[in-house]
Amino acid sequence: MHAVERERKHLAEANRHIAAAKRQIERQKRVVEKLAQAGHETDVAKSLLHAMERSLDAFEQHRELIVETMKTLEVARTVRLGVRDRASAGTVAETLD
């Protein structure tokens, strides 16, 4: 497997992790809200929510590292091919947008 293809798979996985984390955060926000409405303590639920949000931040930072790695690999590929016109070589940009 080529490095760019490996990074594309990592990017897809990172996107799945981010989507799952966002769903879990929304669910936890509803838990906190229901607990508060029922007059229950929310400290533990809020602490878990904050931990989940920090995890999402880490997932998003990891995704950015993958994107940067893909850009670097694309530049290296373009240089190896001796292609001056990046459009004719194809770029990672279409994949990332």
Please enumerate in sequence order all residues whose Cβ is within 8 A of that of 55, keeping only pairs 6 or more positions apart, or say none.
Answer: 21
What Å distances lie between residue 93 and 6, 63, 72, 81, 89, CA to CA?
16, 14, 12, 18, 12
The one-character DSSP state at 84 is S
Angle at 75 between CA 74 and CA 76, to 5 degrees: 90
Q: What is the pLDDT of residues 35-90, one digit of tens each?
A: 999 999 999 999 999 999 999 999 999 999 999 999 999 888 788 777 555 555 55
Q: What is the helix, strand, coil percentage profile of the chain, to 5?
A: 85, 0, 15
pLDDT band at 91 (very low <50, low <70, confident <90, very high): low
Q: What is the pLDDT of residues 7-46, one digit of tens each?
A: 999 999 999 999 999 999 999 999 999 999 999 999 999 9
